[in-house]
Amino acid sequence: MHCIRKIINITQWNLQVFNKVNRAHKRSGILLQNIICRLNHDSEEYLSEEDEKKQNEYVKIASRYLGIAVGGHRTFILQPYIKWGKDKKRNTSPELQMAEAVALINTLPNWCVVGTKYAPLLTLQRKHLLGTGGIENLKKDLRQCPNPTAIFVSTNLLKFVQIRELEKIFGVPVYDRYSIVIHIFREHAKTAEARLQVALAEIPYIRKKIFETCVSRSGAINVTEETKRLLDSKEKKLRNELKKLQQHRRMIRNQRKKHGFPTVAVVGYTNAGKTSLIKALTDDNSLQPRNKLFATLDTTAHQGILPNRLKILYMDTIGFIQDVPETLIEPFIVTLEDAIIADVIVHIYDVSHPDMKAQYEHVQETIKPMLDARPIIDVANKCDLVQSECIPKDAIAVSAKDLTGIDLLRLKIQEVLLATTGLLTIRVRVKAGSSAASWLYKMTTVTNAESDPNDVQYLIMKVIATAVDIQKFKKFLKE
């Protein structure tokens, strides 16, 4: 594991700069751009000799229980699945699960798949996972592969005893989905925020594996106090930094609310096309979508303009994935909050994906408990790759790549947003060139302005504003 030295450091200087820019530019485009830009806190934290020693010890422990990804592996994938009973997955298939497992491995640099095998089971709880016959068959398959150096058992979480026994039998490292996803997170975590959340996500896994290793026959847990203190201290430090991050995010959200910028969160399964859709909606060519799982780990904001000229923020988010424990995603809830409290949620899914149904249901089940009654717009991406009858009738069909359906989606977002945010469309008669006209241009969204046919010295302006804005305007006129 790479030494994690960069952590979130919200300084007073950052806050002063942020507040000065806000006061100077109020609701202008500059303010909106300022809110969009995340404050990066990538300053190096000085580590004392004692802290350096603790960090090195943690790296050793993490490497033992998470494995090492640097350098890559020639990977053999074992896809276990329950044949029947209550634990059988019914909205997907072993073949589709295998395809996702292959995609996970191919996401890691220098990793490749050299062999695959399905394992129909009645339970995932056996010490060796497989029966005697299954073990022997797997040995034969491995011998026929070109020099495999690791086994990926594509299930969310193996017990450490299962990993240890399988490694003894086959003589190569064994990974489960949790550990593979952590390694992908590490690879894609480029900002201090993302690295902090990834570091916190891996500690429950390491702690669980250590405790499983140290349980004696009597049931007592023999973990050294030094190891326990090391994990507890690191987790406490990371959680404190996460609280700072949460406060920082809350401050930015409050600025958005104060100035009335509506937000639209784009959520979906990993690699469904979230960033591509935001690029299409905003015409922002600086966005560079990548065809990789978990390419986006940060929640970021991007300015867009609706057909009625209303400026909004689109929130890009981390993708979801099936068959991983909640503890893996839990640290990312802090930045995901920016999306979850958005005015409108856009759920994008890859309508051409063979496992579309399971992916769609997984995201819906995950986000719905968080949303209260906020509206969700379903967007079926990659509609150009399927027949029209394959697209659900209640979804908006788009192709983020060739811009099909994007204008229709903007209109739908506009319709839902106006209905849910309390924004009002009003007509105001003001003198042309007056301070009142300037105030409306600056503080509201002017969708149309034309001369009064009865008096050309006056304008009739059509504006979109909140009830609070209207009260402020009335107060401004009295001053």
273 is in an annotated binding site: yes
478 is in an annotated binding site: no
383 is in an annotated binding site: yes
107 is in an annotated binding site: no
149 is in an annotated binding site: no
Return phi, psi of residue 292, to 5°: -140, 150
282, 302 contact by CB (below 8 A): yes
316 is in an annotated binding site: yes
318 is in an annotated binding site: yes
240 is in an annotated binding site: no
422 is in an annotated binding site: no
381 is in an annotated binding site: yes
382 is in an annotated binding site: yes
Strand order in 112-121's β-sheet? Answer: 112-121, 74-82, 150-153, 174-175
140 is in an annotated binding site: no
269 is in an annotated binding site: yes
53 is in an annotated binding site: no
Q: Which two tokens stand for residue 469?
A: 């804005």
304 is in an annotated binding site: no
270 is in an annotated binding site: yes
Cβ-in-10-Å burial (0-12, 13-18, 19+) of 292 comes to middle
Q: Rounded to an integer, what distance in angstroms lies between the CA atom of residue 8 and that of residue 23?
A: 25
294 is in an annotated binding site: yes
Q: How many beta carbons lie within 10 A of that of residue 466, not counting itself?
A: 15
325, 245 contact by CB (below 8 A): no
148, 114 contact by CB (below 8 A): yes
22 is in an annotated binding site: no
Q: What is the DSSP letter of 219?
A: S
401 is in an annotated binding site: yes
Q: Which two tokens stand for residue 340?
A: 């979850």
327 is in an annotated binding site: no
Cβ-in-10-Å burial (0-12, 13-18, 19+) of 285 comes to exposed
Residue ranges of the binding site for Mg(2+): 275, 296
Residue ranges of the binding site for GTP: 268-275, 294-298, 316-319, 381-384, 399-401
Residue ranges of the binding site: 268-275, 294-298, 316-319, 381-384, 399-401
